[in-house]
Amino acid sequence: MSEFQRRRLPAIHCWIKHLLEGQFMAEKNMVNTIFGSIKRVRIIGTIVEKKLKGINNTTPQYNNEILNTRIELELDDSTGLIRANIWSGNPKPYKELKKGDLVDVVGLINYKYDNLSISTEIIKKIENPNKLLLRNAEIIKKIKFGKIDFFQETEQEKSNIDLLLFEQPTNSKDQFRESVFSIIDHFSQNENGISFTDLLNKIEISEDKLRRYIRDLEMESKIYQSEENFYQTY
């Protein structure tokens, strides 16, 4: 396949969890997911770590002279973490990217040393958080109404996944989500909301579950992030 053809592959919109839970196919350098086989992907995530590394013992700097430089970005979309590598002879255009920035990333799947990563082709900082809500809504719609390509599962496993994706909330889940909303609403009355850490300390659920409830409430436009990791009701 030529370089031109490789870059013309469609970028599949998904969450990080879809990549991490998929099956990597080394012979094709693709990940088999519920959206089919993915080689080129597009995700939105928050930068939680940034590293600048020089290759071949060079000293990494933000200037026009250092070649073979790699920028490593650890991205979090609340469903998982993945590394996005930027290979650039001149890292200067990426100097302004910083921890806490929300970015839209397009890149090719890479698998090395038992780790899945993204070789970044395009990266753009997102200024309007509504873009994240729209992307999440698009993915949810695709899961709920689009064609899903399940891979190597038994019928029972397919049923379990269907339940996970489409089931109505149980009473327990409803109760926890309402508790999360109530706490955020309480701290929104006369204050600027509540931090994720304080919220986690007030409710006895795992960090992953709390992030899912928060994402659900954001998608329903019941809460928003007033500042980084602080949540408030509308």
Report residue 218's pLDDT band, with 50, 70 and 90 as the boundaries: confident
Whether 98 and 196 map to the same domain: the answer is: no
Domains held by the chain: number = 2
CB 95 within 8 A of CB 88: no
| For range 51-62, the mean pLDDT | 63
* Mean predicted confidence (pLDDT) in 134-145: 81
Average pLDDT over residues 55-73: 62
Report the Cα–Cα distance between both ends of the chain, in Å, rounded.
50
Looking at residue 40, its pLDDT comes to 92
**Mean pLDDT score, 205-231:** 81
Distance (Å) of CA 233 to CA 76, 84, 189, 191, 196: 23, 32, 9, 11, 14
Residue 54: what pLDDT?
67
Instruction: Please say if the pLDDT value at position 8 is more than 60.
Output: no
In a domain, residue 149? The reply is: no
Residues 16 and 105 reside in one and the same domain: yes
Q: Give Cβ neighbours of residue 32 (< 8 Å, ≥ 6 apart).
A: 22, 23, 24, 25, 38, 151
pLDDT above 90 coverage of the chain, percent: 23
What confidence score (pLDDT) does residue 105 get? 94
Q: Are residues 15 and 114 in the same domain?
A: yes
One domain, residues 174 and 127: no
**DSSP H helices in the chain:** 3-7, 16-20, 130-145, 155-166, 171-189, 196-202, 207-219
**CATH code at position 97:** 2.40.50.140
Mean model confidence pLDDT for the chain: 77
Of the three residues 109, 132, 155, the one that is the final residue of a domain is 132
Residues 192, 99 share a domain: no
Same domain, 14 and 111: yes
- Give the tens place of pLDDT for each residue, 150-185: 433 334 433 433 333 333 344 455 677 888 888 888
In a domain, 144, yes or no: no
Do 201 and 105 lie in a common domain?
A: no
Contact 229, 196 (CB under 8 A): yes
Last residue of a domain, one of 88, 117, 132: 132
Give yes or no for a contact between 40 and 109, defined as CB atoms under 8 angstroms apart.
yes
The CATH number covering residue 198 comes to 1.10.10.10
- 32 and 128 inside one domain: yes
Cβ-based neighbour number of residue 212 at 10 Å: 17
The more confidently predicted of residues 76 and 203 is 76
Predicted local distance difference test score (pLDDT) of residue 225? 81
Q: What is the mean pLDDT of residues 32-46?
A: 91
Containing structural domain, residue 88: 3-132
What token pair was written down for 202? Answer: 């007030």
Does residue 92 share a domain with residue 184? no
Determine the pLDDT at residue 100: 92
Distance of CA 45 to the CA centre of its chain: 4
Q: Are residues 99 and 35 in the same domain?
A: yes
At 226 the pLDDT is 76
Residue at which a domain ends, from 132, 158, 189: 132
